[in-house]
């Protein structure tokens, strides 16, 4: 697409929106400005291509398409079939997967599809035997009542939240924590690394139905071959949530033992984050789980979003291009350069560095909570998110950590030299921020003090650092 075509497309879209609700058009334009001017270091965010963004704004949004390709509950879905089939084809080829299901609206939805597919496939219950069926959709209400009773104590083993796991891996705030009896494996207190022997010991003791691999804040590679061996040793289904690092798998940075797709029975992911697509989810699985996975709608999902599936097809096609592998490698190179820059300046990092796209800073060394550090950095034009660290004394709300990642800045074209400058900006803000106090004089976990002039200075320096690497340079909204 030419530069002029991209500008025309987005300008025209905003003009149409402005004619109906100008405040929405203004907010869209303001969001582009904010993203252009901020150092986006949230590990789970990225910048989708103009082609991907434009694929979401079209007439596919108007279609209901419950069912799967060729088996819809609504007529007139032939064009939806085309884009869904293309998205699934690109996903299979990109990841070397036997089966791909591209309907999930988010990573949480993808995980729920996977959980229910495993339960439906694995549970040998009197309810199923009584109904003499193997497909969950054929159960009567009485069968469902009995099945729900029996599924109340199914077991899941996954990474603990403070070690880097995710809420959707069996924790109470999420529905998965109500579906499963969950137990966590953590990391070695001395190194912050997964201790596979301890995982194996926990699996032998707990005997989970599902062993979950994957993370949202673990800065190292995971050996999925070993985890599969552990799962097999206790008869568990091995599921991997690769939402964070899917782009590193797609770009062949993670291969062999570190590529989950050949080892897992079922793999879930988002399509944004390091994969650089639209916000959405996806499930990859072995053939024996395909029929159950394809029943994600209406089992778990509402109607598929055909316009987002179209955007997934575009983004996955982009990820199959040779330059995506170079991009994925640069993500890791940049993350390691950022980690090295922080370490040289005295920062404390969980595991002492990174093998992937993210870095986890323990900000207690600066005398701050994660919440204080997050806001001070935001005041200074640096967008991050607070995150728990192993054995975090401040809990999941205030936290003791800041999680940062390099997918977005790598998309903009920043390299290792700019990562060192970014480390300097982060370190300066954190060293110049002091924890505040509550009205009664007790230490506050939220209040902080940072000189406004310094924050403005850092923000300008961040903007200057980004200036040679404009975001969506072909898009001019003026």
- Catalytic residue, from 270, 351, 354, 422: name it: 270
| Catalytic residue, candidates 37, 66, 181, 229 | 66
Pick the CATH number of 323-466 from 2.60.40.10, 3.90.1150.10, 3.30.930.10, 3.40.50.12280: 3.90.1150.10
| Active-site annotation holder among 241, 259, 340, 379 | 241
In whole angstroms, give the CA distance from residue 347 to residue 362: 8
**Which CATH code for domain 59-319?**
3.40.640.10
φ/ψ of residue 167, rounded to 5: -55, -35
Decide if 279 is catalytic: yes
Other CB atoms closer than 10 Å to residue 433's CB: what's the count? 25
SS3 214: strand
Label the pairing between strands 281-285 and 99-101: antiparallel
Q: How far apart (Å, rounded) are the C-alpha atoms in residues 13 and 3?
A: 16
Judge contact between 355 and 434, C-beta under 8 A: no
Intervals of the chain under pLDDT 70:
1-3, 122-141, 143-153, 167, 170-172, 176-177
**273 classed as catalytic:** yes
Domain residue ranges of the chain, discontinuous segments joined by +: 59-319, 323-466
Distance, in Å, from the CA atom of 282 to the CA atom of 107, rounded to the nearest integer, reads 7
Asked about 40 being catalytic, the answer comes back as no
User: What does the alpha-carbon distance between residue 443 and residue 439 come to, in Å, rounded to a whole number?
Assistant: 9
CA–CA separation, 156 and 152 (whole Å): 12
Say if residues 78 and 306 touch (Cβ distance below 8 Å): no
Domain 59-319 and domain 323-466 have a common topology: no
- Taken in order 333, 337, 338, 343, is the CA torsion positive or negative? positive
**Catalytic-role residue among 8, 36, 37, 64:** 64
Q: Return the residue matching tokens 């900000």.
A: 363
Overall residue count recorded for the chain in this entry: 478
Q: How many CB atoms lie within 10 A of CB 54?
A: 19
Q: φ and ψ at 367, to 5 degrees?
A: 75, 25
pLDDT in tens, 273-300: 999 999 999 999 999 899 899 988 888 8
Q: What's residue 119's pLDDT?
A: 82
Strand positions, DSSP E, 293-378: 358-362
**Does residue 241 have an active-site annotation?**
yes
pTM of the model: 0.90
- 187 as an active site residue: the answer is no
Q: Considering only CA atoms, give the Rg of the chain.
A: 23
Ramachandran category for residue 400: left, alpha or beta (phi over 0 → left; psi -120 to 50 → alpha): alpha
Q: What is the pLDDT of residue 300?
A: 85
> Distance between CA 182 and CA 369 in Å, rounded?
28
Catalytic residue among 40, 221, 273, 276, which?
273
Cα–Cα distance between 294 and 66 in angstroms, integer?
Answer: 11
User: What backbone torsions phi and psi does residue 449 show, to the nearest 5 degrees?
Assistant: -130, 130
Distance CA 22, CA 16 (A): 9
Q: Which candidate in 221, 228, 279, 445 is catalytic?
A: 279
Helix (H) or strand (E) holding 270: strand 266-270
pLDDT of residue 171: 65
DSSP conformational letter for 194? B
């Amino acid at each position: 697409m030419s530069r002029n075509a991209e500008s025309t497309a987005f300008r025209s879209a905003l003009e149409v929106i402005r004619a109906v609700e100008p405040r929405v058009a203004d907010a869209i334009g303001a969001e582009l400005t904010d993203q252009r001017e901020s150092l986006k270091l949230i590990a789970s965010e990225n910048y989708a291509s103009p082609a991907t963004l434009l694929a979401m704004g079209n007439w596919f949004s108007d279609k209901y398409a419950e069912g799967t390709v060729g088996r819809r509950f609504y007529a007139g879905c032939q064009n939806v079939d085309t884009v869904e089939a293309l998205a699934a084809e690109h996903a299979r080829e990109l990841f070397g997967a036997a089966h791909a299901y591209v309907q999930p609206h988010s990573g949480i939805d993808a995980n729920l599809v996977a959980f229910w597919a495993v339960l439906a496939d694995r549970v040998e219950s009197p309810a199923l035997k009584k109904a003499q069926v193997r497909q969950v959709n054929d159960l009567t209400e009485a069968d469902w009542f009995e099945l729900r009773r029996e599924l109340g104590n199914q077991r899941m083993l996954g990474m603990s939240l403070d070690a880097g796991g995710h809420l959707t891996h069996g924790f109470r705030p999420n529905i998965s924590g109500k579906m499963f009896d969950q137990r966590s494996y953590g990391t070695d207190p001395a190194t912050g690394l997964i201790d596979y022997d301890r995982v194996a010991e926990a699996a032998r003791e707990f005997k989970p139905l599902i062993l979950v691999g994957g993370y949202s804040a673990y800065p190292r590679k995971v050996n999925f071959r070993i985890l599969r061996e552990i799962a097999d040793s206790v008869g568990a289904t091995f599921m991997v949530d690769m939402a964070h690092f899917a782009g590193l798998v797609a770009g062949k940075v993670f291969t062999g033992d570190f590529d989950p797709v050949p080892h897992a029975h079922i793999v879930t992911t988002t399509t944004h984050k390091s994969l650089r697509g639209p916000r959405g989810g996806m499930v990859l699985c072995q053939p024996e789980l395909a029929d159950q996975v394809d029943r994600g709608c209406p089992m778990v999902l509402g109607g598929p979003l055909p316009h987002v599936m179209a955007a997934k097809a575009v983004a996955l096609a982009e990820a199959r291009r040779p330059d995506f592998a170079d991009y994925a490698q640069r993500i890791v190179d940049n993350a390691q350069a950022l980690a090295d820059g922080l370490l040289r300046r005295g920062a404390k990092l969980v595991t002492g560095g990174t093998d992937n796209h993210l870095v986890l800073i323990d900000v207690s060394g600066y005398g701050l909570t994660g919440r204080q550090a997050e806001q001070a950095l935001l005041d200074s034009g640096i967008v991050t998110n607070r995150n728990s660290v192993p054995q975090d004394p401040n809990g999941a709300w205030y936290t003791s950590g800041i999680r940062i990642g390099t997918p977005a800045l790598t998309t903009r074209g920043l390299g290792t030299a700019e990562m060192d400058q970014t480390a300097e900006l982060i370190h300066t803000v954190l060293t110049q921020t002091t924890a505040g106090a509550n009205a009664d004089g007790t230490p506050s976990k939220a209040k902080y003090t940072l000189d406004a002039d310094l924050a403005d200075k850092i923000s300008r320096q961040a903007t200057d650092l980004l200036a040679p690497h404009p975001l969506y340079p072909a898009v001019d909204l003026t």
